[in-house]
């Protein structure tokens, strides 16, 4: 059919008085353009049919996985093959008089097919990546780095195929010929190689996930993306910090995921008591403190224990320093422990402690060590602030002063 069309056009131009060379050029050129135009029309027709049939069927299904075929244009890119395939099937009949042009057209068509196949594979990889990202596992084991590596390999293989075709050699021969450039290639792709190794280690060892809160240098926020060369962190002031993926393996960083997955978020804060306000409790002070409900059971039990001990050991209690005596700081510690135990915002199954730290020139630090049930930053800070608001306000009721430099 193509040959007959060429003959008809040639006869037409001969009747117009054209010489043999121009007759062949015009008739075969017009035929080739018509073939190419038909191929392009068939491509758009195929796309139209796919949209009206396959796409509609996909959109009607409940599954969201097949939607990624549409989103990543897998079938649309596959349709790009139609013009090239038609040209490759008909070029010898469409351009019989120009062997050099035939070779050029065939070469262009083959290169075009290689590029289109690479684009289709890109779409397939993207669709697979999007399907994987729809699962919760993607946050724990992100595959962005692996996907980017596959794309780089596809590009390299595409370039090697084109070079091998143009040179008329096997791909293996081209690779061997490029061996002398290996040092240059390693230098060019150094960051990519290090990033790939780093992303694999981060994924396999479960060191980092999307959504983790990490602290590393100036980065202090949530991981939003893990790709081949960089890790993106959205800081709490909404700025974005990018960290080389390889440095996440070689350098130290803090991941707060363990806290998020545990039963509580730690509160470890201290207040400094003015040492000059720490005294032995007098009977009057004890009676006054007993009016505080949370500490009353402790005081009654402690008074009995101290009285029994002093009596058993025959201690003269006329001097307050003899024997065992209570201090206002000790009673205050007992009060804080009772207050923490009754606080519903704290995890009572995790460590709960009130302790003294090493005295300093500023006084005696009194540290509270507990775990908040709330791990959200804002709510956590509210609970911590409420806790220490109360402790600081309660200290004067036990005749204690919080150190404050004047």
Q: For 338-391, what is each residue's pLDDT tens digit?
A: 999 999 999 998 889 999 999 999 999 999 999 999 888 889 999 999 999 999
Do residues 6 and 72 both lie within one domain?
yes
Residue 398 has what pLDDT?
95
Query: 276 and 373 share a domain?
Result: yes
Report yes or no on 164 lying in a domain. no
pLDDT in tens, 13-67: 556 666 566 666 666 677 777 878 888 898 889 888 888 888 888 877 777 777 7
**In terms of domains, do 218 and 274 share one?**
no
58 and 70 co-located in one domain: yes
CB 253 within 8 A of CB 214: yes
Predicted pLDDT of residue 402: 93
Examine the pLDDT at 101 and tell me if it is beyond 70.
yes
- Answer yes or no: is 227 within a domain: yes
Locate the DSSP E strands across 298-360.
353-356
CA-to-CA distance for 15 and 23, rounded, in angstroms? 10
Per-residue tokens: 169 = 């050699």
Q: Domain check: are 248 and 277 in the same one? A: no
Specify the residue for token string 């230098």.
187
Residue 140 within any structural domain of the chain: no
Q: In terms of domains, do 389 and 300 share one?
A: yes
Task: Give dist(CA 356, CA 361) in Å, integer.
Answer: 14
Mean pLDDT of the chain: 82
What residues contact residue 197 under an 8 Å CB cut-off, 6+ apart? 246, 249
Q: Are 389 and 290 found together in one domain? A: yes
pLDDT the model gives residue 376: 84
189 or 165, higher pLDDT: 165
Model confidence at 5, pLDDT cuts 50, 70, 90, reads low
Report the C-alpha gap between 15 and 10 in whole angstroms.
9
Q: Mark which of 134, 166, 189 sits at the end of a domain.
A: 134
The verdict on residue 172 lying in a domain is: no
Tokens of 50: 């796919």
Contacts 24+ apart (CB under 8 A), 285-288: 285/328, 285/399, 286/326
Q: Which of 261, 278, 303 is the last residue of a domain?
A: 261
- Greater pLDDT, 358 or 9: 358
Instruction: Choose one of 87, 111, 134: the last residue of a domain.
Output: 134
Structure tokens at 104: 């050029």
Contacts of 406 (CB under 8 A, 6+ apart): none
Cα–Cα dist 104/263, whole Å: 70
Nearest to 85 by CA among 53, 60, 107, 113: 113
pLDDT score at 384: 94
The boundaries of the domain holding residue 249 are: 200-261
Check residue 217 and give left, alpha or beta (phi > 0: left; psi -120 to 50: alpha). left
Residue 37 lies in a domain: yes
Whether 228 and 254 map to the same domain: the answer is yes
Quick check: is 158 in a domain? no
* CA-based end-to-end distance of the chain: 103
CATH of the domain at 219: 2.30.30.60
Q: How many domains does the chain have?
A: 3
| pLDDT digits 0-9 by tens, 298-323 | 999 998 888 888 888 888 777 778 87
Supply 390's token pair: 């109360």
Record the pTM: 0.50
Structure tokens at 68: 């990624």
Domain presence at residue 121? yes
Residues 319 and 361 reside in one and the same domain: yes
165 in any annotated domain: no
Examine the domain organization and report whether 366 and 270 are in the same domain. yes
Q: Does residue 24 sit in the same domain as residue 54?
A: yes
What would the two tokens of residue 218 be?
């100036």
Residue 257 structure tokens: 């995921």
> What is the torsion angle, in degrees rounded to the nearest 10, for the CA atoms of residue 9, residue 13, residue 19 and residue 22?
-60
How many angstroms separate the CA atoms of 11 and 4, rounded?
A: 11
Chain centroid, CA 275 distance in Å: 49
332 and 250 within one domain: no
**248: nearest Cα among 203, 188, 189:** 203
Distances (CA, A) of 249 to 195, 197, 207, 231, 324: 10, 9, 9, 12, 56
What pLDDT, in 10s, does the model give residues 129-149?
888 877 777 666 777 767 777
Using one digit for the tens of pLDDT, what is the confidence trace for 319-352?
Answer: 778 878 899 999 999 999 999 999 999 999 888 9
- Per the CB < 8 A criterion, the answer to whether 229 and 189 are in contact is no
């Amino acid at each position: 059919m193509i040959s007959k069309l060429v003959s008809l056009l040639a006869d037409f131009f001969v009747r117009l008085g054209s010489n043999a060379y121009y007759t062949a050029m015009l008739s075969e050129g017009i035929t080739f353009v018509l073939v190419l135009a038909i191929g392009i029309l068939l491509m758009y027709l195929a796309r139209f049919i796919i949209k009206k049939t396959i796409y509609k069927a996909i959109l009607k299904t409940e599954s969201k996985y097949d939607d990624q075929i549409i989103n990543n244009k897998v079938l649309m890119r596959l349709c790009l093959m139609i013009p090239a395939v038609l040209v490759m099937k008909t070029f010898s009949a469409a351009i019989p008089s120009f062997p050099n042009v035939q070779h050029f057209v065939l070469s262009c068509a083959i290169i075009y097919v290689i590029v289109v196949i690479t684009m289709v594979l890109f779409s397939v990889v993207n669709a697979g990546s999007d399907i994987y990202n729809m699962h919760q596992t993607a946050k724990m084991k992100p595959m962005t780095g692996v996907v980017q590596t596959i794309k780089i390999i596809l590009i390299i293989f595409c370039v090697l195929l084109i070079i091998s075709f143009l040179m008329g050699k096997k791909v293996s021969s081209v690779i061997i010929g490029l061996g002398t450039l290996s040092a240059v290639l390693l230098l060019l792709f150094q960051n990519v190689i290090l990033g790939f190794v780093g992303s694999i280690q981060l994924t396999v060892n479960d060191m980092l996930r999307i959504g983790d809160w990490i602290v590393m240098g100036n980065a202090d926020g949530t991981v939003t993306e893990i790709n081949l060369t960089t890790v993106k962190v959205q800081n709490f002031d909404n700025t974005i910090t990018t960290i080389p993926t390889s440095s996440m393996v070689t350098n130290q960083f803090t991941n707060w995921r363990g806290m998020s997955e545990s039963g509580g978020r730690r509160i470890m804060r201290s207040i400094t008591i003015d040492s000059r306000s720490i005294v032995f409790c007098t009977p009057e002070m004890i009676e006054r403190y007993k009016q505080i409900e949370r500490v009353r059971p402790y005081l009654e039990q402690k008074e009995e224990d101290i009285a029994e001990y002093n009596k058993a050991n025959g201690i003269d209690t006329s001097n307050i320093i003899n024997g065992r005596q209570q201090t206002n700081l000790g009673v205050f510690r007992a009060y804080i422990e009772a207050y923490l135990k009754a606080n519903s915002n704290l995890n009572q199954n995790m460590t709960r402690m009130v302790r003294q730290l090493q005295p300093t020139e500023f006084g005696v630090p009194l540290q509270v060590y507990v775990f908040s049930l709330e791990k959200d930053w804002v709510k956590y800070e509210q609970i911590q602030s409420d806790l220490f608001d109360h402790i600081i306000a309660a200290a004067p009721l036990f005749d204690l002063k919080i150190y404050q430099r004047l």
